[in-house]
Each structure stands twice: as structure tokens, then as C-alpha cells.
Amino acid sequence: MHGTWPAQSASNARIVPPLAAFGRLIRLKSQTGTFLLLLPTLWALVLASRGLPPWRLMIIFLIGSFLMRSAGVVLNDLADRSLDRHVTRTQSRPLASGELTPGHAIAILIVLVALAAMLLLLLDPMTIMLSPMALLLAALYPFAKRVIHIPQAMLGLAFGWGTIMAWSAAQGTVTAPAWCIYAATLCWAIGYDTIYALQDQDDDRRIGIKSSAILFGSRTWLAVGVALGGMLLFLSIAGWLTQVGWFFYLVLIAVGFFFAWQIRRLRRNVSASTALSMFQQHAWIGTAILGGLLGSLLL
């Protein structure tokens, strides 16, 4: 009889896995992705509000960014669980390793989306009407790497949609500067996620996954440079349309110099750890741009 206890214990652990596994599933200890989703929405809120946005809106979009990014990585891991087992960096993820089942992931996904939907009820009708597109784009992204050679563009479309919703929430409409910020976010995502993809290019090539890092190869530095240059251009146009002050453009120039340093670094081979570090630096870049906007509008 005692011999059945270990089996029962393993069965119970599978039914009720440790909370730490759910934390790893939603990347609780790694929130760079949340910041990269949140910061463009804050750019939009600040520009649309002509200064510091209402605290209510900032809190809604902060929590919403965390929930939707978490939902996005759960969707990604569900779609990629069989592929992740063959990639060194991802083979220990809870779904790929079998620590969590697809049922566990679907349950946490439902909770995250339900909480995000509850937040939406605090916003105006137009923003609520725009929200299904955010979920659709997030759901399409995990499958983009099987179809298109620059799946990073789909990530940008998904991450950028928050800027459209933020502008709508602040102004009740969506005008040209909002679409400029959306375009800037798209370009930014292509840039930083191409750098991120450098970590996995050997494994991705072996198992047939598409990525911009593979597509551009030795010209990755040039592709990243074009994408980040486009980001700065669209942000400059958004600033010009909204008549922000000189401080914002000073920050953009400083950001441009930092981008030039990253692009120069990409002309040489970079290790996986270096690529990850360069990717993470973009959260600080987004924060600097937010500071530039606030400084220009409040000083």
C-alpha cells in the first residue's frame, strides 16, 4: 500500500502544479516585455493628454499591459510547446518540459483575458470597440514565425495596438499622431526583436522557424538600423504634429546615438547573452523617450 504513495503524489502535483510554474509560464521574473508593451501606450497617453495623463488611465493601461503581455506569452508557449523542446533557451519552459499541461495554460489564459476584459469596462465605448483587435493580433503572433520571414512585424502590430487604444481612451478619437506612434512602435519592435532573435538563430534554422535574424543574416545590423531609424522618424513626426518642445527632440538625438552604438556592435558576431542584454536595454530607451515627452510638455 505504501508503494502507491509516490504515484499518488506525482498525480496530485500534475493536477495542482506549484505556483512557481505558473510564474515561469507568464515570465513573472522577466518583465522587459511588459515594459516594451506599456511604454508606447504611455507615450500615446502623454501626447494625447498634452502632459501628465489622468492617473486612472495610467493605472488601467499599466495593469492591462501586464495582463495582456502575460496572456501573450501563454498563447505563445501553447502554440510553440512542441518546438520549444528543440530550442536550448526554451526547452525548460513549463509547457515544453511537461511541468504544466495545455489545460493548465488554457485556464490561466482565461483568467488573464477575463481580468483584462473587466478593466476594459472602465473605459469609453470606442476604446472597448477597438479592443478585440488587440486580442486577435496577440493570437496571430505565435503562428507568424511559421508563415512570414519577419514575424517581428506581427509582434509590432500587436504591441502597437495599445497606442491606438490609449489615444482613444484619452481623446475619444484616433488622430494622425496616434498612427505615427503606432508606426514607430512597429518599427521599434522589428528592431529590438530582431536583436532578441539572434539568441536562437542556430536552433531556429535547424527546426525551420522563420525570423528576421535568419532572413537578413550578415545584414542584420542594416535591417535593425533601418527599423530603428524609422522609429525615430515617426516619433519626430508625431512630436511635430502635436507641437512638443525641443527637449523631446534632444532626447531623440541622444537615443539615435545609442542606436548607432548598438548597430555598430551588431556588425560583429554577438553572443546570446550580449543579444539579450542589448534587447533589455530597449526598456530604458522607451523610458528615456517617455521622459523626453513629459519634459517637453510639462517644463
Specify if 104 maps to a domain.
yes
Domain count, the chain: 1
In Å, what is the CA distance from 182 to each residue of 56, 69, 186, 205, 229? Answer: 22, 17, 6, 30, 15
Which of 76-85, 141-150, 237-246: highest mean pLDDT? Answer: 237-246
Contact partners, residue 52, CB within 8 Å, separation at least 6 = 46, 294, 298
Specify if 106 maps to a domain.
yes
3-17, 44-58, 263-277: range with lowest mean pLDDT: 3-17
Specify if 140 maps to a domain.
yes
Residue type, 16: V
Mean pLDDT of the chain: 92
Neighbours of 277 (CB within 10 A): 12
Contact 243, 119 (CB under 8 A): no
pLDDT for 88 beyond 70: yes
Average pLDDT over residues 186-209: 92
Specify if 24 maps to a domain.
yes
**pLDDT range class, residue 62, cuts 50, 70, 90:** very high
Q: In the structure grid, which three cell numbers stand for residue 203, read together?
A: 536552433
Domain that holds residue 196: 19-45+54-298
Specify if 267 maps to a domain.
yes
What's the pLDDT tens digit per position in 243-260? 999 999 999 999 999 999
Specify if 225 maps to a domain.
yes
CATH, residue 222: 1.10.357.140
Specify if 11 maps to a domain.
no
Specify if 1 maps to a domain.
no
* CA–CA gap between residue 58 and residue 64 (Å, rounded): 10
Contact partners, residue 105, CB within 8 Å, separation at least 6 = 25, 74, 77, 78, 95
* Predicted TM-score (pTM) of this structure: 0.91
